[in-house]
C-alpha cells in the first residue's frame, strides 16, 4: 500500500507517518529529510536543491522526481511507501501516479491532516526555538506556509476530485490521532 500524507508544515504528519510506516512495515519517505540528507552529502541533486530550501521555496520538480524514483525502486519499497511532504504540486502528483503505474505499484491512500492555522503557527514557532534547522527563521517559516498554500492546496483538490482524499483531524493526543489514521487507512 502506498500512503500519501498531506498537510501544512507543523500538522503532525511526520510523527504520524512514522507511526504508520512502522505499523505497516514499509519505509517512510520524508522529502524534506531526504533533501537535507542530499545537501549534507553534497550530491548533485543536493547541491542544486540547497538554495531553494534555504529560502523556503519549493525545490524544482525534476530534482524531486529523481529522488522519488530512486526511493520507489529500492528493495525496501517493495510493499509500498509512506510519502511525507510529497507531492507538493499537481505535476508531482501526476508524476508519482505515472511512476507507481510504471513500476506496477498501484493502490494509494491519501490522508490530509487538518489543523487550524493558529495551532500550526504555535507549533512551528515552538519547534524553531528548540530545533537545529537552518530554515527555521521566522521569514522562512512564513514562506513555507505560503508555499504550502500556493502549491499543496491544489494537490488536495486534485485528490478530492479523484475521490481518494481522507481527512484526519490533526488535533488531539498522538495516540488519538494515530487511531484516526488507522481508521482512515482501513487497518
Site string for ligand AMP, 54-83 (x = CB under 6 A): --xxxx----x-------------------
Q: How far is the CB of 27 from ligand AMP (least distance, A)?
A: 16
Q: How far apart are CA 147 and CA 142, in angstroms?
A: 9
Query: Which grid coordinates are listed for 31?
Result: 522529502
The reply to whether 12 sits near ligand AMP by the rule CB under 6 A is no
Would you say 67 or 177 has its CB closer to ligand AMP? 67
> In terms of C-beta density within 10 A (0-12 exposed, 13-18 middle, 19 or more buried), how is residue 170 classed?
buried
Q: How far is the CB of 158 from ligand AMP (least distance, A)?
A: 14
Q: What is the DSSP letter of 9?
A: T
The reply to whether 31 sits near ligand AMP by the rule CB under 6 A is yes
The reply to whether 170 sits near ligand AMP by the rule CB under 6 A is no
The reply to whether 128 sits near ligand AMP by the rule CB under 6 A is no
Judged by CB under 6 A, the chain residues 129 through 158 that form the site for ligand AMP are 144
To 5 degrees, how large is the angle CA 180–CA 111–CA 145? Answer: 110
Phi/psi at 16 (5° precision): -70, -35
Angstrom distances, CA of residue 133 to CA of 2, 119, 127, 137? 28, 20, 9, 9
Q: How far is the CB of 155 from ligand AMP (least distance, A)?
A: 9
**What is the contact surface with ligand AMP in residues (CB under 6 A)?**
9, 31-32, 35, 52-53, 56-59, 64, 85-88, 92, 144
Amino acid at each position: 500500500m502506498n500512503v500519501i500524507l498531506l498537510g501544512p508544515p507543523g500538522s503532525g504528519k511526520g510523527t504520524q507517518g512514522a507511526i504508520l510506516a512502522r505499523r505497516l512495515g514499509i519505509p517512510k519517505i520524508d522529502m524534506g529529510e531526504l533533501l537535507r540528507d542530499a545537501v549534507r552529502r553534497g550530491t548533485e541533486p543536493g547541491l542544486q536543491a540547497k538554495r531553494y530550501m534555504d529560502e523556503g521555496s519549493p525545490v524544482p520538480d525534476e530534482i524531486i522526481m529523481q529522488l522519488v524514483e530512486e526511493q520507489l525502486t529500492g528493495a525496501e519499497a517493495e510493499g509500498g511507501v509512506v510519502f511525507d511532504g510529497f507531492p507538493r504540486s499537481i505535476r508531482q502528483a501526476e508524476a508519482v501516479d505515472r511512476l507507481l503505474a510504471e513500476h506496477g505499484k498501484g493502490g494509494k491512500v491519501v490522508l490530509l491532516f487538518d489543523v487550524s492555522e493558529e495551532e500550526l503557527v504555535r507549533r512551528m514557532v515552538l519547534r524553531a526555538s528548540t530545533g537545529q534547522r537552518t530554515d527555521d527563521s521566522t521569514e522562512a517559516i512564513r514562506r513555507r506556509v505560503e508555499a504550502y498554500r500556493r502549491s499543496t492546496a491544489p494537490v488536495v483538490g486534485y485528490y478530492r476530485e479523484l475521490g481518494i482524499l481522507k481527512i484526519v483531524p490533526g488535533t488531539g493526543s498522538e495516540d488519538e490521532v494515530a487511531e484516526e489514521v488507522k481508521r482512515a487507512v482501513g487497518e
